[in-house]
């Protein structure tokens, strides 16, 4: 494994969010937003990544558009950032599709294909020619050539070349997407097909140019607070472990941003655990072969869009976010709710849930602390109004959900757990097979997490995985075990 080190693409995105928040809190919001690319690359500054300072600024302008929660593809080049800033401020709800692509950055990336490099020796054996089932490769003038009309990108020639002279050129976003929702079009630019996209966020992290952006809702949230609305934070369990402070300090820090209350989504996870354990028992009693979990938003979108045949096997229990949002709106009917999220997928879930008004990811939360100059480790501690169990707080770790369900089952009724630790093409094929055959030999409770490692591996997180895990473990260890309901 490579050594963990800060990523420049994340640095740029976070810096822009900090500047947007400072602009919003300042006296001349629109004008301050307009100046962001110029502040980041003032006259005479070095040009670290692009051909010239003008392109640097143009790209930063586009990144700022995503920070404003607008689609980069739809924004007209002639629109000033100040106009777009006002547009963002005037909207009544966030835009629908959660991702947007900075297509100008895609030009640095060539289309995926098989490519014969200069290392080709034009050898006598020519295994590439005989290995190709499509007749797409021929030696001409002492070197292999690929007929792109015939080539199907199977990669056989890559494997057989004794000189390793043939390379597969990869487009990272295309390669990582488990459902083929993002691809370079004929124009050479990456496009996301939102009919296919499951909002897993893998492309956000995979693009080395940082071209895929989440559309931030930070302006919407700041506006609600500025207008005096009561805004309640619903913090996903994976948040605890993201910043260098205790959970109670973090509550205090969030309150000091202007939130009215902070609820742990683990509170809702306790309801999920109870319902799901009861449901599992019932389904197994009825003779169903297996059941899958239903709390990962990326997985849920996968089932809706690509694997409808799996629906009958997926638990009907709602997500922890759903129950927590319901509690918040019941307790405080007049408030706006913000779900604090580790990933893109919850943006789509929130969009479809009237009880969740906005989503803020951890990067954005961190940027907010920077903008307001809040030192989380210096904050005093605020108690949460409701407790949550150790099992619920351990939801964001791969295996945690199934383990929690099992903690309420006894003896023969205990589930045999199979965990799908990250959705990729292969694990999706496996799930499809389970649905088709109506059975899974690997277990009868299948826990599915779209991100490897669980929510702690989400694209919107700050802390490195192992550090986050050890911090979260401390919190889980301090928490009491879930109590069995009188009748499961």
Residues that bind other proteins (CB under 8 A): 3-7, 10-11, 14-15, 18, 39-40, 243-244, 363, 366-367, 369-370, 373-377, 462-464, 467
Q: Which is nearer to other proteins, 117 or 470 (CB)?
A: 470
Q: Which is nearer to other proteins, 47 or 110 (CB)?
A: 47
CB 112 within 8 A of CB 169: yes
Reported as type and span, the H/E element at residue 190 is strand 190-192
How buried is 441 (Cβ within 10 angstroms: 0-12 exposed, 13-18 middle, 19+ buried)? exposed
How buried is 142 (Cβ within 10 angstroms: 0-12 exposed, 13-18 middle, 19+ buried)? exposed
Minimum CB separation of residue 244 from other proteins in Å reads 5
Minimum CB separation of residue 33 from other proteins in Å reads 15
Minimum CB separation of residue 463 from other proteins in Å reads 5
Minimum CB separation of residue 188 from other proteins in Å reads 31
CB 281 within 8 A of CB 257: no
Minimum CB separation of residue 14 from other proteins in Å reads 6
Minimum CB separation of residue 179 from other proteins in Å reads 28
Q: Which is nearer to other proteins, 245 or 297 (CB)?
A: 245
SS3 at position 27: coil
Minimum CB separation of residue 18 from other proteins in Å reads 6
Minimum CB separation of residue 40 from other proteins in Å reads 7
Structure token pair of residue 353: 């849930």
Q: Which is nearer to other proteins, 41 or 314 (CB)?
A: 41
Q: How far is Cα 100 from Cα 149, in angstroms, rounded to an integer? A: 31
DSSP codes joined into one string, 286-333: TT-S-EE----HHHHHHHHHT-GGGGGGB--PPPHHHHHHHHHHHHST
Minimum CB separation of residue 3 from other proteins in Å reads 5
Alpha carbon distance, N-terminus to C-terminus of the chain: 43
Q: Which is nearer to other proteins, 3 or 51 (CB)?
A: 3
Q: Which is nearer to other proteins, 13 or 274 (CB)?
A: 13
CB neighbourhood size of 158 (10 A) = 18
Q: Please identify which residue in the block is written with the tokens 């319901």.
A: 326
Q: Which is nearer to other proteins, 3 or 52 (CB)?
A: 3
C-alpha separations of 390 from 23, 147, 297, 394 in Å: 40, 59, 22, 6
Q: Please identify which residue in the block is written with the tokens 């004008």.
A: 31
- CA 470 from chain centre, in angstroms, equals 21
Q: Largest alpha-carbon pair distance within the chain?
A: 81
Q: Can you give 362-405 as a three-state secondary structure string?
A: HHHHHHHHHHCCCCHHHCCCCCCCCCCCHHHHCCCCCCHHHHHH
Q: How far is Cα 103 from Cα 124, in angstroms, rounded to an integer? A: 43
Q: Which is nearer to other proteins, 235 or 328 (CB)?
A: 235
Q: Which is nearer to other proteins, 11 or 484 (CB)?
A: 11
Minimum CB separation of residue 41 from other proteins in Å reads 11
CB 231 within 8 A of CB 338: yes
CB 396 within 8 A of CB 454: yes
Minimum CB separation of residue 42 from other proteins in Å reads 10
Q: Which is nearer to other proteins, 57 or 306 (CB)?
A: 57
Q: Which is nearer to other proteins, 66 or 296 (CB)?
A: 66
């Amino acid at each position: 494994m490579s050594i963990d080190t800060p990523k420049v693409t994340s640095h740029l995105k976070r810096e822009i969010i900090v500047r947007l928040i400072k602009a919003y809190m300042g006296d001349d919001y629109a004008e301050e937003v307009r100046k962001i690319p110029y502040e980041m690359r003032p006259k005479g500054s070095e040009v670290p990544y692009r051909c010239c300072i003008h392109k640097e600024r143009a790209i930063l302008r586009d990144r700022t558009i995503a920070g404003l929660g607008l689609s980069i593809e739809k924004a007209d080049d002639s629109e000033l950032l100040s106009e777009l800033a006002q547009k963002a401020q005037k909207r009544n709800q966030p835009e629908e599709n959660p991702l947007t692509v900075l297509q100008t950055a895609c030009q640095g990336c060539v289309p995926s294909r098989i490519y014969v490099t200069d290392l080709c020796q034009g050898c006598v054996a020519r295994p590439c020619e005989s290995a190709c089932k499509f007749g797409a490769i021929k030696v001409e003038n002492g070197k292999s050539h690929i007929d792109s009309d015939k080539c199907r990108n199977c990669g056989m020639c890559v494997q057989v070349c004794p000189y390793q002279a043939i390379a597969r050129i990869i487009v990272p976003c295309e390669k990582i997407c488990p459902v083929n929702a993002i691809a370079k079009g004929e124009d050479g630019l990456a496009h996301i097909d939102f009919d296919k996209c499951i909002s897993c966020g893998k492309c956000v992290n995979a693009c080395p140019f940082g071209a895929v952006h989440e559309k931030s809702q930070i302006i919407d949230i700041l506006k609600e607070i500025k207008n005096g609305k009561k805004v309640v934070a619903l913090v996903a369990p994976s948040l605890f472990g993201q910043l260098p402070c205790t959970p109670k300090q973090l509550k205090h820090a969030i309150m000091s941003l202007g939130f009215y209350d902070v609820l742990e989504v683990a509170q809702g996870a306790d309801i999920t655990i109870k319902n799901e354990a009861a449901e599992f028992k019932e389904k197994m009693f009825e003779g169903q072969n297996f059941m899958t979990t239903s709390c990962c938003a990326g997985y849920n979108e996968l089932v809706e869009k690509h694997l409808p045949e799996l629906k009958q096997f997926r638990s009907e229990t709602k997500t922890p976010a759903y129950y927590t949002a319901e509690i918040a709106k019941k307790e405080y009917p007049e408030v706006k709710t913000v779900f604090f999220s580790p990933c893109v997928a919850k943006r789509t879930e929130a969009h479809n849930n009237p009880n969740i008004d906005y989503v803020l990811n951890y990067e954005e939360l961190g940027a907010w602390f920077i903008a307001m100059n809040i030192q989380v480790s210096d904050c005093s501690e605020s108690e949460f109004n409701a407790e949550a169990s150790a099992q619920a707080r351990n939801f964001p770790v791969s295996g945690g959900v199934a383990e929690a369900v099992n903690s309420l089952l006894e003896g023969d009724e205990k589930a045999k757990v199979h965990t799908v630790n990250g959705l990729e093409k292969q694990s999706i094929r496996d799930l499809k097979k389970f649905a088709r055959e109506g059975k899974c030999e690997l277990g009868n409770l299948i826990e599915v997490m779209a991100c490897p490692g669980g929510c702690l591996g989400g694209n919107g997180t700050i802390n490195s995985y192992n550090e986050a895990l050890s911090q979260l473990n401390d919190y889980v260890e301090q928490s009491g075990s879930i109590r069995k309901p009188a009748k499961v």
